[in-house]
C-alpha cells in the first residue's frame, strides 16, 4: 500500500531532458538548475507545475516523470504515468516485478526493527511526532534501554523510515492515520548514539522533506532552522562539503519560505532575505547558485519593509551579471542602475510571463507587478517635477484612465506627495525628503549587516593569528 502514495503538494529531475519548448515560459524555467539540489520527491511538484502551465510538451513532461519515478519506489504512480505516456492499459513486466520487490523490502525493513515498533505502541509513548520533545525523548531512551533495544534495531528503524519515505508514506496526514517517515525519523534521532553521524543528519533532511511534501509548514520551518544550525556549527573536514550542504539548504528554503500562505506565515520573505544576505549563504549563491538571485530579488521587491536592502541587492546583481540574469534582475538594473524606463517597461512585461511559470513565485505575480510599477513611478518622480499622465501610463503599461486612478489612490493613501492638474493631465510633484527617523532607520539596518560581516572577518583573521602565533597547537598558559 505504500508503493503508490504521492505528495499533497503535487506530483514533480530536471526540465525534461531534450524537451521541446511549448511556450515562452520555457526559456525562463530554472528546473534544470534547481533539480541537482533537491530530493527526487521534491521534484514531483515542480514537474507537475510545468505540466499544468504547459511550459513543455505534454509528452516530454510525462517521459521525464516516468524516468524520475523509476529511480524511486513510487511504483504505482510510475505505472499510472507510464500508461498515460504510452496510451496503454497494461503495465510493463519490469514494473510489476518492481512492485513485488518494493513490498518485500518494506516487510524486511519492518522486521529488522519490529521490537522497537512494538515498544512505540506503548501507551506512554503514544505521541506520534513527539520525537523532538525533550521529556518524550528522555522517556523513550529510558524505555528503550529497559526493553533491550539494540543499536542495530535503531538503525533498522532508520532504514524502515527511509523505505517508507521512498514509497511515498511521508507521514501522518491527520492524527488518526498511521505513522510514517516524518514520525519515525525524529525517534531515530532521539535513540541514535552518534547524533552528529551521517544518518542523523540524513534523518533531519528526510524529516524536512516529508514535512514540505505534507505542507506542514510550522514544523518544516522549525526543522529548517535546526538543520541550518547543525550545518553551520558542525565540523566538516572538507569545506567544499559544507558549501554543498549550504547550497542544498538555500534551495530547500524556497519551499519553506515561499510556499506557505502569507496569511499564516507573514515573515517568510523577510526570513528568506535574511538567510540569503548572510555572508556564508551569499557565498554559496555566488559560487554555486547565482540563479537564486531571481528569488532574492523578488522577495526584496515585494517586501516594502526591506527597501534598505536594494543597494546591496543591486551590487550583487551587477557582480553576478555574467553568471546569471533574467527579466527580474534585468528590470532592477534597467530601473535603478541605468534609469532606462523603456527598458524597464519591456522587462516588466517579460517578468509577468516568468512569474506565472515559476512554481515558487506564481502567487506573487500581481504583487510583484504592482510594486514594480510603484518603483518605476517613484524613480521617475525623483528626476522629474512635472509628469504627463499619458506618458506615465505608457511607462507603467497601463491605460491612461487606470494610471490616473492609480496615482489618485497613491495621493489619497499618503504614499505620494503630489497634486494632479486635471486640465493639463499633469502630476506635479512636491519636494519631499526622507524624514530624519527614516534616514536613521535605513542607516541602522545597513549597519547591522556590515557589522556582522566585519565580525566574521575579524574572527577569521583572529583564528589565523592564533594558529601562526602558536604553531604547536598546545595553547598558552
Q: State pLDDT tens for residues 422-463.
A: 777 777 776 556 667 777 877 777 777 778 778 777 877 776
How many CB atoms within 10 Å of residue 238?
Answer: 8
Q: How far apart are CA 236 and CA 224, in angstroms?
A: 19
Cβ proximity of 446 and 311 under 8 Å? yes
Cβ proximity of 258 and 273 under 8 Å? no
Q: State pLDDT tens for residues 77-129.
A: 999 999 999 999 999 999 999 999 999 999 999 999 999 999 988 777 755 44
What is the average pLDDT across 214-234?
93
25-30 long-range contacts, CB within 8 A, separation 24+: 25/53, 25/55, 25/353, 25/354, 25/356, 25/357, 26/55, 26/56, 28/326, 28/327, 28/350, 28/353, 28/354, 28/357, 28/358, 29/55, 29/357, 30/291, 30/294, 30/358
Q: State pLDDT tens for residues 162-200.
A: 999 999 999 987 777 788 999 999 999 989 877 777 899
pLDDT band for position 256 (cuts 50, 70, 90)? very high
Q: How far apart are CA 268 and CA 254, in angstroms?
A: 10
341-357 helix and 365-383 helix, angle to the nearest 10 degrees: 170
For the four alpha carbons of 119, 125, 131 and 134, in that order, the dihedral sign comes to: negative
pLDDT band for position 406 (cuts 50, 70, 90)? confident
pLDDT band for position 252 (cuts 50, 70, 90)? very high
Q: How far apart are CA 74 and CA 72, in angstroms?
A: 6
Q: In whole numbers, what is the pLDDT of the chain averaged over residues? A: 85
Measured at the alpha carbon of residue 386, what is the angle toward residues 380 and 391, in degrees to the nearest 5? 60
pTM: 0.81
3-state secondary structure of 299: helix
Cβ proximity of 182 and 214 under 8 Å? yes
Rg (CA), the chain: 27
The grid coordinates of residue 22 equal 511549448
Cβ proximity of 158 and 203 under 8 Å? yes
Ramachandran sector of residue 313 (left: φ over 0; alpha: ψ -120 to 50; beta: rest) = alpha
| Paired strand residues for 420 | 427
DSSP letter for 20, please.
P
pLDDT of residue 129: 47
Q: How far apart are CA 474 and CA 469, in angstroms?
A: 11
Higher pLDDT, 466 or 299: 299
Stated as kind and residue range, the H or E segment containing 456 is helix 436-469
pLDDT of residue 473 exceeding 60, the answer is no
The grid coordinates of residue 21 equal 519548448
Q: State how far the alpha carbon of 159 is from the alpha carbons of 111, 118, 191, 403, 427, in Å.
A: 11, 16, 14, 61, 68
3-state secondary structure of 355: helix
DSSP letter for 473, please.
S
Q: How far apart are CA 267 and CA 351, in angstroms?
A: 24
Amino acid at each position: 500500500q505504500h508503493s503508490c502514495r504521492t505528495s499533497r503538494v503535487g506530483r514533480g529531475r530536471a526540465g525534461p531532458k531534450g524537451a521541446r519548448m511549448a511556450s515562452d515560459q520555457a526559456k525562463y524555467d530554472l528546473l534544470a538548475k534547481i533539480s541537482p539540489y533537491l530530493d527526487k520527491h521534491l521534484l514531483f511538484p515542480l514537474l507537475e507545475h510545468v505540466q499544468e502551465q504547459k511550459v513543455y510538451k505534454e509528452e516530454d513532461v510525462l517521459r521525464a516523470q516516468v524516468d524520475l519515478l523509476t529511480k524511486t519506489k513510487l511504483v504505482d504512480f510510475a505505472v499510472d504515468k507510464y500508461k498515460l505516456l504510452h496510451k496503454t492499459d497494461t503495465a510493463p513486466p519490469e514494473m510489476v516485478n518492481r512492485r513485488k520487490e518494493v513490498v518485500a523490502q518494506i516487510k524486511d525493513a519492518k522486521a529488522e526493527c519490529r521490537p522497537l515498533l512494538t515498544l512505540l505502541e506503548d501507551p506512554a509513548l503514544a505521541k506520534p511526532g513527539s520525537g523532538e520533545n525533550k521529556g518524550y525523548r528522555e522517556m523513550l531512551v529510558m524505555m528503550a534501554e529497559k526493553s533491550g533495544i539494540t543499536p542495530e534495531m535503531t538503525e533498522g528503524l532508520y532504514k524502515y523510515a527511509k523505505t517508507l519515505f521512498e514509497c511515498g508514506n511521508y507521514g501522518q496526514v491527520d492524527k488518526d492515520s498511521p505513522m510514517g517517515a516524518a514520525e519515525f525519523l525524529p525517534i531515530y534521532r532521539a535513540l541514535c548514539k552518534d547524533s552528529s553521524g551521517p544518518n542523523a543528519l540524513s534523518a533531519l533532511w528526510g524529516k524536512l522533506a516529508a514535512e514540505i511534501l505534507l505542507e506542514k509548514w510550522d514544523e518544516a520551518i522549525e526543522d529548517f532552522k535546526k538543520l541550518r544550525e547543525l550545518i553551520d556549527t558542525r565540523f566538516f573536514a572538507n569545506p567544499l562539503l559544507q558549501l554543498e550542504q549550504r547550497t542544498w539548504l538555500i534551495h530547500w528554503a524556497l519551499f519553506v519560505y515561499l510556499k506557505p500562505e502569507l496569511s499564516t506565515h507573514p515573515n517568510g520573505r523577510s526570513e528568506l532575505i535574511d538567510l540569503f544576505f548572510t555572508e556564508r549563504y551569499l557565498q554559496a549563491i555566488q559560487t554555486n547558485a547565482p540563479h537564486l538571485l531571481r528569488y532574492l530579488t523578488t522577495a526584496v521587491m515585494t517586501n516594502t519593509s526591506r527597501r534598505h536592502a536594494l543597494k546591496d541587492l543591486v551590487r550583487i546583481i551587477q557582480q553576478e551579471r555574467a553568471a546569471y540574469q533574467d527579466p527580474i534582475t534585468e528590470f532592477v538594473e534597467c530601473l535603478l542602475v541605468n534609469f532606462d524606463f523603456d527598458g524597464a517597461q519591456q522587462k516588466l512585461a517579460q517578468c509577468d510571463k516568468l512569474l506565472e511559470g515559476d512554481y515558487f513565485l506564481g502567487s506573487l505575480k500581481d504583487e510583484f507587478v504592482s510594486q514594480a510599477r510603484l518603483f518605476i513611478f517613484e524613480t521617475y518622480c525623483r528626476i522629474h517635477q512635472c509628469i504627463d499622465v499619458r506618458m506615465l501610463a505608457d511607462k507603467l503599461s497601463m491605460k491612461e484612465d487606470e494610471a490616473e486612478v492609480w496615482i489618485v489612490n497613491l495621493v489619497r493613501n499618503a504614499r505620494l506627495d503630489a497634486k494632479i492638474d486635471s486640465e493639463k493631465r499633469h502630476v506635479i510633484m512636491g519636494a519631499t525628503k526622507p524624514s530624519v527617523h527614516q534616514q536613521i532607520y535605513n542607516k541602522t539596518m545597513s549597519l547591522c549587516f556590515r557589522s556582522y560581516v566585519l565580525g566574521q572577518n575579524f574572527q577569521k583573521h583572529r583564528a589565523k593569528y592564533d594558529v601562526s602565533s602558536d604553531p604547536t597547537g598546545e595553547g598558552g598558559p
